[in-house]
A = this chain, B = another copy of it.
Amino acid sequence: MKRTARPENVHQATLLRLLRDGGRSRAELGDVVDLSRSKLNVELDRLVELGLAEPDGLAASRGGRRSGRVRLSPRTRFAGIDIGATSIDVAVTNGELEVLGHLSERADIREGPAAVLERAVELVGKLRREGLCTELNGVGIGVPGPVSFAEGVPVVPPIMPGWDRYPVRETIAQELGCPAMVDNDVNIMALGELHAGLAKNVDDFLLVKIGTGIGCGIVVDGKIYRGVSGSAGDIGHIRVDDLGPVCACGNSGCLEAYFGGAALAREAAALARAGGSAHLAERLAVAGALTGEDVAAAAAQGDPGAIALIRDGGRRVGQVLASLVSFFNPGLVIIAGGVARLGHVLLAEIRSVVYRRSLPLATGNLPIVLSELGDTAGVVGAARLISDHVYSAI
């Protein structure tokens, strides 16, 4: 197989993207593409010659001759790298973006790009040594900050010291010897949901990630909307209250200052010290500090103080989302990220505020749901990002 093979025209690109959702018969492909039967067969045969697809037996008869099935080359391999503030996730997928192997470990983004990217490359090497791939067709990378998508570099990322304009795409492409694309972590999670999650058949939706920071992936017509300078969806610094707490960005009353991971940990500790939560006080005495997971655990045990913290945060997120739902009229809102693991108490509060405050026309058929993909959203989305590139006409 030629690893560098790419589709030669838009028809081939369209066919590869259809096959990415699963192999199918030539007759089924003919039903959805605007090509004559002979032209379709020419393009499919060419994809087989290029090593991008291959025949896969005969389909069941639809009344006439049995049509030949086609699938992506089973030797196709994409890697997805999802770099978080405190973690690295790496996966290798096949052409259909099914995860063949996934490694996850703690990491600190503040160690800088050289160390973090080296570790990510090592993790890909580990999966390779396990026999999951020899060469890669492409790699997608997500990082927790704003990215100049065209240049493949982070741009003034607030929680990534040392990464500003670091050539992430070039570094990874060179190390792994294949095409690479970089985007911010929230956008790649949204792509993951689009490919394999609850947004599979939704053209216009929002993915709200609540983790260390708060961000929003915006999908318009099945594609990530990035805005003119790539900062679209950066909702963590929308001001919810002029008199609110000071944020890491220097302003006050930002959404993130109320309900990012750091804000939640701080509020939980204050509550524990003030005697507002027995569960959290106990945990604080043992661990010396609290995290979002501690709040989730306390709430799961019915701790009223912890539940109140989650409700309060959900209300703030709901206030911001209510405006965005009226403005954007999405078909679906997915809540994801570490803090989203606070679960159904959080979801109930967000739903209640959005359904009450947004325009009825915008919420009439609007599901607001928790992500079901967990840690795989990012790596699958990163693989999807690079496969979109590899499966586009040159």
Contacts and interface: CB of A to CB of B under 8 A. Distances in A.
Contacts of A235: 323, 326-327
A267 interface: no
B204 A237 contact: no
Contact of A330 (B204, B216, B220, B228): B228
A312 to B, nearest CB: 15
Contact of A238 (B203, B218, B234, B323): B323
Contacts of A239: 319, 322-323, 357
Nearest to A231: B361
A352 to B, nearest CB: 14
A234 B362 contact: yes
Contacts of A204: 227-228
Nearest to A361: B231
Contacts of A233: 327, 329
Interface in A351-394: 357, 359, 361-362, 364-365
Contact of A327 (B156, B324, B357, B364): B324
A230 interface: yes
A225 interface: yes
A362 B329 contact: no
Interface string A307-343: 0000000000001101110111111000000000000
B329 A327 contact: no
Interface in A210-242: 216, 218, 220, 225-235, 237-239
A233 B234 CA distance: 19
B361 A146 contact: yes
Contact of A227 (B146, B225, B234, B330): B330
Q: Which of A220, A238, A251, A326 has the most CB of B within 10 A?
A: A326
Nearest to A202: B228
A229 B365 contact: yes
A146 B329 CA distance: 12
A203 B227 CA distance: 10
A155 interface: yes
A234 to B, nearest CB: 5
Given A237-B326, A324-B327, 16 more contacts: A156-B361, A216-B327, A218-B328, A220-B220, A227-B329, A228-B331, A228-B365, A229-B329, A230-B361, A231-B329, A231-B359, A235-B327, A239-B322, A320-B323, A324-B324, A327-B328
Interface of A: 146, 155-156, 203-204, 216, 218, 220, 225-235, 237-239, 251, 319-320, 322-324, 326-331, 357, 359, 361-362, 364-365
21 contacts: A146-B361, A155-B361, A218-B327, A220-B220, A227-B329, A227-B362, A228-B331, A228-B365, A229-B362, A230-B361, A231-B361, A232-B327, A232-B328, A233-B327, A234-B327, A234-B361, A234-B362, A237-B326, A239-B319, A324-B324, A324-B327
Question: What 8 A-B pairs have minimum CB-CB distances, sorted nearest first?
Answer: A227-B329, A232-B329, A228-B331, A231-B361, A238-B323, A231-B329, A231-B362, A234-B359
